A and B are shown apart, each in its own frame.
Chain A
Amino acid sequence: MSEKRDWPLFEVFIRARGGLDHKHAGSLHAADAAMAIEHARDVYTRREEGVSIWVVRSADIVASDPAEADALFEPARDKIYRHPTFYNIPAAVKTL
């Protein structure tokens, strides 16, 4: 082999049970998406961790810039009225 190229990186999301959402489990290398599903099955579901797998190429994820964290997240800090803690919950409502 003249040139060894690394397989691209994929992020793996696993749904633990029906009704729950997919949670980020980790990442792995694979040649393509089909192989990434098989690798995810072999690497992340060996102990019955899941019933469904999503994979996405890490390069396709668009992330927020940590340097912009102040501008993005600071403005929410002094708006505690956005939390629903100021409502009196009627006694009849049990499942809220």
Chain B
Amino acid sequence: MSGVVDRQRALREYVLRLGDLSLVLGQRLGEWIGHGPAIEEDLGIANTSLDLIGQARFLLTYAGELEGRGRDEDAIAFLREERDYRNPTLAEQPNGDFGQTIVRQVLIDAFQFELYAGLEDSGDERLAAIAAKALKETRYHLRFSGGWLVRLGDGTLESHARVQHALDLLWPYTVELFAEDEVDRAMAEAGIAPRLAAVQAAWSARIDQLLAEATLQRPKEQSYSWFGKRGQHSEHFGHLLSEMQYMQRTYPGASW
């Protein structure tokens, strides 16, 4: 995309990105169900997963309406090709061990928290309403993931080493969250979305505070140029999609 971006199209693209982030992260967390370290944790992760999929439903329904081609939330969630998904690649990274899941979750929870806080004042009323609801959920998600980050980071030698390793592994993917492109710029200039630079500053301060409490080292910044929001996904994404889309592909239109 280059030059002047049509505003309606930019809004659809922006809403799709938000929806895909929640959808893909929710799907990943769903993989933990039945495998959590304790039944209480199993339920906690499932609750977060369901919140995220609930957000995706609102956002993808809205994206479908903006598109105006009659696609509903299910068609958009389950019947697109890999390159049509707009989530950042961080969301699709594998669960790894519990610590790695928690690190991925903290990085994204803090991002969504600052983003939704800015979107609450969006000039687009529909988006503002979705963000206001999602913000309450995200506040709890961050409490859950942030709490675990501190417990594991400031825990045993082994738990500390594991989450530090996960942090080093996933940190480079965070660059993408704040890389502003034409769509982000158009939305910020239209008063629909906050500036990504402002979101990044707030995110960074919050993450630094959590890392300090968890006695973890903030990794060095690296360059990164593989953008899920342009449809470029990691090798893991195809496997996630095949599992997520299996039911709708095998039994088109199935419902329960």
Contact = CB atoms under 8 A, between A and B. Distances in A.
B243 interface: no
Nearest to A40: B40
Nearest to A34: B147
A38 B40 CA distance: 9
Contact of A42 (B47, B147, B158): B47
Nearest to A36: B40
A1 B158 contact: yes
B39 to A, nearest CB: 8
Nearest to A39: B40
A81 interface: no
Contacts of A1: 158
A38 B147 contact: yes
A7 B38 CA distance: 10
Contacts of B43: 39, 42-43, 46
Contacts of B44: 38-39, 42
The size class of the interface chain B forms with chain A is 10 to 19
B49 to A, nearest CB: 12
B215 to A, nearest CB: 17
Interface stretch (A24-32, A72-80, A87-95): A24-32
B40 A42 contact: yes
A46 B144 CA distance: 15
A35 interface: yes
Contacts of B144: 38
Contact of A35 (B47, B140, B147, B158): B147
Nearest to B159: A1
B136 interface: no
Given A29-B40, A39-B40, A46 B151 contact: no
A74 B99 CA distance: 55
B143 interface: yes
A29 B37 CA distance: 12
Interface in A1-43: 1, 7, 28-31, 34-35, 38-39, 41-43
A75 to B, nearest CB: 42
Nearest to B155: A31
A1 B16 CA distance: 43
Interface of B: 38, 40, 43-44, 47, 140, 143-144, 147, 151, 158
12 contacts: A1-B158, A28-B40, A29-B38, A31-B151, A35-B151, A38-B44, A38-B143, A39-B40, A39-B43, A39-B44, A41-B140, A42-B43
Interface of A: 1, 7, 28-31, 34-35, 38-39, 41-43, 46
